[in-house]
Amino acid sequence: MSKVRVYQLAKELGMSSKELINKLAELDITVTNHMSALEEETADILKELYEVKREDTNEKTENKKKTNKKGSKNKKTKEASKIEEKEHDQEAIMIPETIVVQEFANKIGKSVSEIITKLIGLGVFASANQNIDYDVAASIALDFGMAVQKEEEKEEDEFGIEEIPDRPEDLKERPPVITVMGHVDHGKTSLLDAIRNTNVTSREAGGITQHIGASEVEVNGKRIVFLDTPGHEAFTSMRARGASITDIAILVVAADDGVMPQTKEAISHAKAAGVPIIVALNKIDRPNANPDRVKQELSENGVLIEEWGGDTICVPVSALKGEGIDNLLEMILLVAEMQELKANPNKLASGTVIEAKLDKSRGPVATILVQNGTLKVGDSIVAGAVYGRIRAMVNDKGNNIKKAGPATAVEILGLSDVPEAGDRFNAVKEDKLARQIVEKRRAKIREESLNATAKVSLEDLFKHI
Ligand code: GDP
Ligand code: MG
């Protein structure tokens, strides 16, 4: 039986792959991404289902259809109505761990006495200004036929930075952040250069002035952010701190060399982080390039590309000649679309330090990736054990900018000291708070290093006994 790719079927049904995957999930069919293969049978059922849906508005055609295809009639109408039902789902009401009865009543648009009556029915006796637990509130709301969802509690890190979870309605699409990985000399640097060049209009050519450790390109009106930090470092140092910054890993493999030790390392990093891989099969211009061998080797190392029945996209490129780069960029956007990357631009910024150094004339300089919120000149920030106030921000094109939204890499000036790559940063409401947080962090670091020395000397002591 032949198979149909999710994106192919989506195209046939006139919807995006993302939409189709959601529809499939509603039918309890789980697929990983747009490249996933579906049985032809499943594809047929879906086609019927959506034809039926379209025809629902047209009684006549529907009747005709019914007589034509008796066998699947029941199934499709049931499935179709199931889908309709889900689509008309109302938005869930957010209920916290505990909630005051009065507040709960307001929230669900019922009177306090209605709630109290329900409470009594559940054997719970509470007055208007008493608290009830989530479970109780949820069961009452469900009783009224409402959808509920538990509100995540505000998390406050031990140093007083509030990480308030974003409400779904505040989230906006954000660009993907990409790392390039692969064996030495397979062409990581050349590929990044080639990518940057595709995006330089002739007027700007030669105008890439600043190197800030990250770069952005625009493809079909959409931004893609590339981190210059070798992917391996980004993954090891940053992940050691629990930071996850990349959405997609580009695995560069030289077509004339194949899978090498650092290729394998890169594969395992990406897999451990759950980051999808796109293979850039580089140096295809070389006479001794052997793409088939590389694909074979990749499959032996757990990376199954499309041609081999897997999900991983493989794009042949020549970084040297600039071939295949547009295709690679398009594939990045395709995979990113599937990830539904989102962030909330309307709050104080947070993100990760990508690199940092002490500049003789400018003082401490750090390139940071804003991952959520918007960073503005004048903001007070905390980055690891360092604080400061943003004096200036420079983007990858070397331009001074006043604000940087989600998925923007910028170089910042104004820190008190040099933070470490991989440190988290947060913009905070005021300087004073930034200083307090950093003092607490520094005290903790001192304490930890004292403990470490104390431990070592005790061990040393015992060694000598
Ligand atoms: P990296 O160590 O992975 O960053 O690799 P580089 O980008 O420094 O490339 C290593 C060498 O391979 C350089 O001499 C490049 O000119 C060469 N190279 C990179 N990409 C290509 C390509 O597509 N074709 C050919 N023929 N050579 C390439
Ligand atoms: Mg390099």
Q: Assess whether pLDDT exceeds 50 at residue 11.
A: yes
pLDDT at 76: 43
**Ligand 1 atom nearest to CA at 183:** 3
Indicate if ligand 1 lies below 6 Å from the C-beta of 318: yes
HEC string of the chain?
Answer: CCEEEHHHHHHHHCCCHHHHHHHHHHCCCCCCCCCCEEEHHHHHHHHHHHHHHHHCCCHHHHHHHHHHCCCCHHHHHHHHHHHHHHHCCCCCEEECCEEEHHHHHHHHCCCHHHHHHHHHHCCCCCCCCCEEEHHHHHHHHHHCCCCEEECCCCEECCCCCEECCCCHHHCEECCCEEEEEECCCCCHHHHHHHHHHHCCCCCCCCCCCCCCCEEEEEECCEEEEEECCCHHHHHHHHHHCCCCCCCEEEEEEECCCCCCHHHHHHHHHHHHHCCCEEEEEECCCCCCCCHHHHHHHHHHCCCCEHHHCCCEEEEECECCCCECHHHHHHHHHHHHHHHCCEECCCCECEEEEEEEEEECCCEEEEEEEEEECEEECCCEEEECCEEEEEEEEECCCCCEECEECCCEEEEEEEECCCCCCCCEEEEECCHHHHHHHHHHHHHHHHHHHHHHHHHHHHHHHHHHC
Determine which of 21-35, 297-311, 351-365 has the lowest per-residue pLDDT on average. Answer: 21-35
pLDDT at 323: 96
Sequence-ordered list of residues with C-beta below 8 angstroms from that of 19, at least 6 positions apart, any chain: 10
Q: What is the mean pLDDT of residues 338-348?
A: 93
Residue 88 or 100, more confident? 100
pLDDT at 182: 92
pLDDT at 185: 95
Residue 302 or 58, more confident? 302
Alpha-carbon distance of 438 to 422, in angstroms, equals 16
Residue 274 or 407, more confident? 407
Indicate if ligand 1 lies below 6 Å from the C-beta of 193: no
Q: Which residue of 320, 325, 327 sits with most ligand 1 atoms within 8 Å of its CB, as the best mutation to test the pocket? A: 320
**Nearest to 189, CA basis, from 272, 254, 109:** 254
pLDDT at 447: 80
DSSP bridge pairs for 99: 132
pLDDT at 318: 97
Q: What is the mean pLDDT of residues 127-140?
A: 90
Alpha-carbon distance of 274 to 299, in angstroms, equals 18
Residue 26 or 412, more confident? 412
Alpha-carbon distance of 303 to 379, in angstroms, equals 43
In the reported structure, the alpha carbon of residue 254 is separated from the centroid of ligand 2 by a whole-number distance in angstroms of 13
Q: Assess whether pLDDT exceeds 50 at residue 369.
A: yes
pLDDT band for 237, please (50, 70, 90 cuts). Answer: low
Question: 440: which 2 tokens?
Answer: 């607490």
Residue 404 or 268, more confident? 404
In the reported structure, the alpha carbon of residue 270 is separated from the centroid of ligand 1 by a whole-number distance in angstroms of 22
Confidence check on the interface: ipTM exceeds 0.95, yes or no: yes
Identify which of 160-169, 208-217, 411-420 has the greatest average pLDDT. 411-420
pLDDT at 75: 46
Q: What is the mean pLDDT of residues 187-199?
A: 88
**Kind of pairing between the strands at 350-359 and 424-428:** antiparallel
Q: Are 230 and 208 in contact (CB under 8 A)?
A: no
- Number of other residues whose CB lies within 10 A of the CB of residue 385: 19
Indicate which ligand has the atom closest to the C-alpha of 194: 1
Residue 453 or 343, more confident? 343
pLDDT at 83: 45
pLDDT band for 236, please (50, 70, 90 cuts). Answer: low
Place of tokens 């889908």: 83
Q: Assess whether pLDDT exceeds 80 at residue 162.
A: no
Sequence-ordered list of residues with C-beta below 8 angstroms from that of 358, at least 6 positions apart, any chain: 364, 365, 418
Alpha-carbon distance of 441 to 369, in angstroms, equals 22
Q: Assess whether pLDDT exceeds 90 at residue 45.
A: no
Indicate if ligand 1 lies below 6 Å from the C-beta of 262: no
Q: Which residue of 185, 196, 281 sits with most ligand 1 atoms within 8 Å of its CB, as the best mutation to test the pocket? A: 185
Residue 52 or 268, more confident? 268
Cα separations (Å) of 267 from 36, 111, 311, 336? Answer: 20, 57, 14, 19
Q: What percent of the chain has pLDDT over 90?
A: 43
pLDDT band for 71, please (50, 70, 90 cuts). Answer: very low
pLDDT band for 5, please (50, 70, 90 cuts). Answer: confident
pLDDT at 324: 97
Is the pTM value of this prediction over 0.80? no
Determine which of 69-78, 237-246, 274-283, 344-353 has the lowest per-residue pLDDT on average. Answer: 69-78
**Ligand 1 atom nearest to CA at 190:** 7
Q: What percent of the chain has pLDDT over 70?
A: 80
In the reported structure, the alpha carbon of residue 184 is separated from the centroid of ligand 2 by a whole-number distance in angstroms of 7
Average pLDDT, the chain: 82
Indicate which ligand has the atom closest to the C-alpha of 183: 1
pLDDT at 19: 82
Q: Which residue of 179, 190, 294 sits with most ligand 1 atoms within 8 Å of its CB, as the best mutation to test the pocket? A: 190
pLDDT band for 188, please (50, 70, 90 cuts). Answer: very high
